Structure 1
Amino acid sequence: MRSVLNNIIRILLASSVHCLKYTEPLCTKIPKTNAKCKLDNVRVEDQLVFAHVIFRHGERNIEKSYPNDPYKEEKYWLGGFGALTNVGKREVYELGKYLRRRYSELIGDSYSPKNIYIRSTDFDRTLMSASVLAAAVYPPSGDEIWNDEIAWQPVPIHTGPLHEEQLLPWKIPCPRFMFLFEQYQSSPEYKSIFARYEPSIKHWERHSGQSLDKLADIMYLYDTLFVENRKGFVLDDWANEALWDSTLKYLAAFHLQSFTHSTELKKLEAGYVIKDMLDRFRNKSQSLLKPNQSIWHGSLHVYACHDLSIVNILNALNLYDLHIPNYASSLHFELYRTNGTEYYVQLFYRNQNQEIVDSPLEIPNCGTKCHLDQFNELYRDILPTESEDYDSVCRVST
C-alpha cells in the first residue's frame, strides 16, 4: 500500500514541483518571458543586430547526497555525480534548434566564427551542453558534410579554468566576496530565516541525517530530492512531503539570491559579465566590432552556465522573482537598431521549453525597450569602472 501511495505522490510531484507557489510575500511570480521568432512588440523597421544568450545546462545527476539517501551510491547515476543526462542533452538540443529559428538572420545557414561565439564554464555538464546546443544550431549541410555516417560538425566551445573565470564566477578565489558573503551569513536577516523555519529544518535533519547549518546545505538537499524524484526514484514519505511543501524550495531559491543580495555583491557576481555584454553592444552600435583576437566577434554570443549564473544576472538587474531556473532555461539580451541611428535593448527570459515567449521583461524605470545609453546609466552602480579590474577588487578583503 505504501509503495502505491509513493508512486501516486511521485507522479503528482513530477508534474507540479516546479510550479509550486511560494508562501513568502516577496516571491509571487516568475519573470515573464518572450521569444516569438517574429517579435510582435518590435516595429517592423527595427533590426535585431546583436544578441547574447545565457543558458543553464540541461538536466544532470545529483551533485551531492545525504547520509540516509538510498540512492547515494554512484551506481545509480549513469555518467557519475553531476553528469549531464540523456534527457538533459535533449533539452539543450531543443534549445539549440530554438536559437537557430530565433536568430537565423544573425548567424547564417553555415557555421562561421564571424557569426557566433560560444563560451562555457569549465564544467563537464556545461561544456557538453554547449556542444549539444552547437550541434543543433549548425547541423551540417552541403559541403559541410564531412562524414555521411554522422550529421554533425565541430563547432568550437571556448572556456577557461574555473579559478580564473571572472565573467561567470563560480570557483574563482575572491577574498572580498567571501568577506561580504560571510558577513551576510552573520546578519539578523540571514539568521531569522533559520529561526522562522527551525521546526522544518530540524525535521529534515532528523530524517536525512544531514546537518543543515547553512542555506547551502538546504539547497543541496532540495536539489538531490528534486533530481531523484525527477528520475522516477521512489522517495521516503518525509522527502515527498518536503518536495510537496514549498518551504524547502523557497529556502533553496533564497540561498541562490543571497549571492547578490547587496549592490557590491551584484557587481562582483554579475557586473562584469553584464558590462562585457553592454560594451559589446556599444561597440556594435559604433561599428567598432571587428574580427580580431582582442574582441570576441560574431553577432550571437552564447554562454553555457548554471542556475546561479542566471539568478545572479536577474537579481543584479532587479528582475528576479524568487525561483530556481529550469534546466536549459535561457536569458536573452538583444540589441535593436531603429531606422535611424538609435539603439535599444530588450531582455527575454525563456524558463520553459516553449516556442513563444510572451513578452520582454519590464526593465525597471525603462520599460520593455530601453535605450542603450539609458540602460548603461540605470545600472551604473553595479557595473565596474575601467579601473576596477576583478583581481584588484577581489583583493580588498575587508
Structure 2
Amino acid sequence: MKTFLKNNKIRILLIVSLLLILTIAFDYNFFRFRLVSSPNNDLIEVEPLFAHVIFRHGERNIERTHPTDPYASESYWPGGYGALTKNGKKDMYELGKYLRRRYNKVIGEHYTPKTVYIHSTDYDRSLMSAEILASALFPPAGDQIWNKNLKWQPIPVHTRPMSQELLLAFKMPCPRFTYLLENYKKSTEYKTTLAKYGPLIKHWENQSGKSLEKPFDIYYLHDALYVEHRLGFDLPEWADEAIQGNKTLEYLAAFELQSYSQSTEMKKLEGGFVIKEMLDRFKEKSLDTLKPNRTLWIYSAHDLTFVNILNSLNVFDLHMPPYASSLHFELYKSGDDYHVQLFYRKSKEEILVPLEIPNCGTMCPLNTLYQLYKDILPTEFEDFNSACRHYSSK
C-alpha cells in the first residue's frame, strides 16, 4: 500500500512538472516579462512595452471574374464581390481573441483610446475585419457594459482615403513608382520568369477567355479560382488543375505581388514609410515621448501590404499571405536597452517563433534596425509626396 501511494505521488509530481513545463513553453513567446536570448546568445530579462500588429483581412468573396467563370454572377456571392464570408468573420473574431491572450498584460481589460489605436484601409472587408477583431479584443466589462444582452461595445476604427493610404502605397499618385514598376516589367528577370511559363499562361488565357498581360491579371485569375475552390465550388478541369496541380499559378501570383517591392527604391516607396512609422513610434516609446502613451497599434490590411513589408525587410519567402494572418512587431526593454522582435502568424499557431532579421538575429536592438534599413527608410524631412516628386525627375 505504501509503495502504491508512493508511486502515485511520483506520478502526480511528474504530471504537475509536465504541466508546468508546458505552461512555461506556452507562455514563452507571449508578450510579457520573460527571458530571451540576446544577439550575443546571453539570456536577458525583457519587459514588454509596445506592439504593432498588421493583419490581413478575413476570407472574402472573389474580387474579379473572367469570361468563362461559371460563378460570375454576384448571386453566388452574398454581400457582393470582395465581401467577407462567414468563415472570414469567424477567423477575425478568433484573431481578436488571440490578440487578447497575447497582449492582455499590457492593454488591460478595459478599452481606452490612450492604450490602443486601430487603423484600416478604406475597404469594406478590411474595415469590417477590424471591427470584428475589436469586438473580440475588447468585450465590455464592468462599467463598460451598456447592454446586458449584448456583449459588445463600439471601438473606433480609423481610416483615410486610398489616395493617402501608405498601407497600399501603390494606390497613391507616385510618378517615380509607376516608372520603376514599368521598368521592372520590361526587365530580363521579369520577362524570363513569365516566358518560362509562357505555354501555360497561354493555356489559362484560352480557358479563362481573359488576357493575362496587364499587371495583376494573373493575380486576379488565381484569386478567383482559389476562392471558388476554397468555398467548395465545382471547377472546370483546367481550373482545378491550376489550383491543385503544381501550384504554378499561385507562384506567379505571389511573384506578381513581390514585383511591387523588387528594388531598394521600390521597397522604400512601398514599405519604407510604414516601417519608419512603426520604428519611430518605438523610438518615442523608448524615450517616453509617445503621446498618447499607447501599448498596441493595429493595422487592418492586405496580402500586398504583407509582401511589401516583409520583402522590404528582406525576410520574405515567395508565397501568398493567408487570410487572417498577422505580423507582430514587438518592442522590449532590457535595462537601458530596447530590442525588437518580429513574428509572423500564418495560421492559428498559439506559440510563435520570431523571424530571423538579417545581420541581427531574432532579438534586434532598435537602433540597429535604423542602420540595417537606412536605404529603405525615408529621411527625417522626406514624406511620400516629396519622395515621389524628387524621384520623378530621375
Give the letter for the 2:154 counterpart.
Answer: P
Q: Distance in 2 between matches of 1:170 and 1:56?
A: 17
Aligned mates of 2:219, 2:252 — CA distance in 1: 7
Separation in 2, partners of 1:356, 1:107: 19
What does residue range 257-296 of structure 1 map to in structure 2 within 5 Å?
Answer: 257-291=258-292
TM-fit CA distance, 1:35:
4.6
- C-alpha distance after superposition, 1:236-275 (max 9, x if no partner): 0000111122110000000111100000000000100100
* Residue 156 (structure 1) shift: 0.4
2:336 to 341, 353, 377: 341
Alignment-derived partner of residue 253 in structure 1: 254
Amino acid at match of 2:354: P
Q: Which residue of 2 aligns with 1:355?
A: 350
3-state SS of 2:166 partner: coil
Contact 1:35–1:348 (8 Å) recurs in 2: no
1:59-208 matches, within 5 Å, as 59-208=59-208
Aligned partner of 2:325 in structure 1 is 329
Distance 1:301 1:144 in 2: 21
> Which residue matches 1:389?
383
Equivalences, count: 358
CA distance in 2, matches of 1:260, 1:167: 13
Residue number among 357, 363, 379 corresponding to 2:373 in the alignment: 379
1:309 aligns with 2:305: yes
1:21 alignment counterpart? none
Query: Could you tell me whether the CA contact under 8 Å between 1:74 and 1:80 is conserved in 2?
Result: yes
Q: CA RMSD in A?
A: 1.5
Which protein, 1 or 2, shows the higher relative CO under an 8 Å CA cutoff with sep ≥ 6? 1
Following superposition, the deviation at residue 183 of structure 1 comes to 0.8
Deviation at 1:37, TM superposition (A): 5.7
1:164 positional shift: 1.2
Per-residue deviation, 1:215: 5.1
CA contact (8 A) 2:30 2:103 kept: no
Tell me how far apart the structure 1 counterparts of residues 170 and 180 of structure 2 sit (CA, whole Å): 16
| 8 Å contact kept, 2:167–2:305 | no
Structure 2 stretches lacking a partner, 5+ long: 1-27, 38-42
Q: Select the structure that is richer in helix.
A: 2
Structure with higher Rg: it is: 2
Whichever residue aligns with residue 187 of structure 2, its letter is S
Deviates more, 1:319-328 or 1:142-151: 142-151
Letter in 2 for 1:236: P
Are residues 309 and 263 of structure 1, via their aligned partners in 2, closer, same or farther at CA, if it must alter by over 3 Å? same
Post-superposition CA distance 1:22-70 (Å, at most 9, x none): xxxxxxxxxxxx9546667466731110100010000010000010000
Which consecutive residues of structure 1, in runs of 5 or more, have no partner in the other structure? Answer: 1-33, 292-296
Structure-1 residue corresponding to 2:11: none
CA distance in 2 between partners of 1:37 and 1:59 (Å): 27
